[in-house]
Amino acid sequence: MNTVVPICSYDGCKVQIDGKCALGHDPVEGCENYATDIEPIEELEESEEPRTVPPVQIWASNKMLLADYSILSRRRRLRTVALVGEEKVGKTTLLCSIYAMFCRGPFADLTFAGSETLLGFAKLQAFAMLSSGRASPTVPRTSRRDPLAFFHLALARSRRDIVDLVIADRSGETYAAARTSTDLIGTLAEFKLADRVCFLLDGGRLASNDDRTAYTRNFRQMINALHDNGALADAAAVEILSTKLDITRGSDPADISFLNDFQARIVSDFAKKGLAISSHEICALPKADRTIGIVGLDDLVRRWTEPEPLPDVAPRPVVDAPRQIDRLMSKVARGA
């Protein structure tokens, strides 16, 4: 409430009411009693009712769960990539390395424009920091008890052209279990959401003679199981990502050629089954040979974020239309 302070200190002057100086000054500012420098004092008034401000929801910024993904997908058009592979193949390391590339600056002609899962990324990265006390960088193991998690990156091609990339990660043990117990496949929500499914192939295990036979058999069996149970039906593209190139590069030439042949066979066999499949080599964390550096991530990010083809809006030919007018129009369109 504003308390009105008298504008003139002369007793009986009504200048405040009728604008006339009691001492006859004109203009009134000429009067020495006319106090122009008096400021109204604002009194703070306590509100009678408590203010009811709605609580502001603070986004935790942790990795997203399925419910968070659904909320985000209603706000933004998402590009979703599912990383699939057995334990320790390098799924979590790959998504962490992609984030790390954008921490350094623009990458693959894209600029980091935000993330809904910054804390989630930071928690993964903490294991790669010197301060973690570890002798070599790594990421935490994804436990089978951990639910499906999503990591988000908003990447800007230009000021108005932003791609919302979401990468799905879950434990390799779950995928290994789904390979043999195919009734589990229907519960893996990522396959219904993913535009692109990436099967990670452990180059390190393939290049070693020890468990190569069992590993390649299991890998093929996993893609077969998912394909036969319809999990890959919604994916526009399927990729085989051969990981840990720093290990495979140093292998025997015969081992390298085994790896290359296996990749080529997988691609040709599944392409025949109708999958849009391709294979690529990557190195997300060159621990065995640092001279190799990060390999394949630039192309990978470009593929995952490439502009979507425009929808086909050409009119469809009308065949045996029930209405006379439609039959007539189709004749006109054909130029008959």
Ligand X SMILES: Nc1nc2c(ncn2[C@@H]2O[C@H](COP(=O)(O)OP(=O)(O)OP(=O)(O)O)[C@@H](O)[C@H]2O)c(=O)[nH]1
Contact positions toward ligand X, by CB under 6 A? 85, 87-93, 138-139, 141-142, 171-172, 243-244, 246-247, 283-288
Query: Between residues 163 and 168, which has the closer beta carbon with respect to ligand X?
Result: 168
Least separation in angstroms between residue 175's CB and Mg ion is: 11
Output the six-digit token pair for 246.
């720093």
Least separation in angstroms between residue 92's CB and Mg ion is: 3
Q: How far is CA 249 from CA 199, 245, 292, 320, in A?
A: 20, 6, 9, 61
Q: Which helix (DSSP H) or strand (DSSP E) does residue 288 occupy?
A: none
- Dist CA 274 CA 233 (whole Å): 10
Q: Please give the full DSSP string across 49-111, using - where no structure is assigned.
A: S---PPPPPPP--S-B-HHHHHHHHHHS-EEEEEEE-STTSSHHHHHHHHHHHHHHS-BTTBE
Query: Between residues 92 and 251, which has the closer beta carbon with respect to Mg ion?
Result: 92
Least separation in angstroms between residue 91's CB and Mg ion is: 5
Choose the contact partner of 244 out of ligand X, Mg ion, none; CB within 5 to 8 A by kind.
Answer: ligand X
Least separation in angstroms between residue 149's CB and Mg ion is: 9
Q: Is the dihedral angle over the CA atoms 132, 99, 238, 207 positive or is it negative?
A: negative
Least separation in angstroms between residue 260's CB and Mg ion is: 26
Half-sphere exposure at residue 177, Cβ-oriented, CA atoms within 13 angstroms: 12
Query: Between residues 136 and 324, which has the closer beta carbon with respect to ligand X?
Result: 136
Query: Between residues 31 and 89, which has the closer beta carbon with respect to Mg ion?
Result: 89
> Under 8 Å CB-to-CB from 130, ≥6 apart: which residues?
none
Choose the contact partner of 248 out of Mg ion, ligand X, none; CB within 5 to 8 A by kind.
Answer: none
Choose the contact partner of 63 out of Mg ion, ligand X, none; CB within 5 to 8 A by kind.
Answer: none
Mark out the alpha helices in the chain (DSSP H runs): 15-18, 66-75, 91-104, 118-125, 172-180, 190-193, 203-206, 212-228, 245-248, 253-272, 297-305, 324-334
Interacting residues with Mg ion (CB under 5 A)? 91-92, 142
Residue 41's SS3 state is strand
Query: Between residues 178 and 277, which has the closer beta carbon with respect to Mg ion?
Result: 178
- Dist CA 83 CA 89 (whole Å): 10
By C-alpha distance, which of 320, 221, 229, 202 is closest to 269? 221
Least separation in angstroms between residue 202's CB and ligand X is: 8
By C-alpha distance, which of 113, 77, 70, 120 is closest to 95? 120
Least separation in angstroms between residue 123's CB and Mg ion is: 12
Query: Between residues 140 and 230, which has the closer beta carbon with respect to Mg ion?
Result: 140
Query: Between residues 142 and 305, which has the closer beta carbon with respect to Mg ion?
Result: 142
Q: Which residue type sits at 295?
A: V
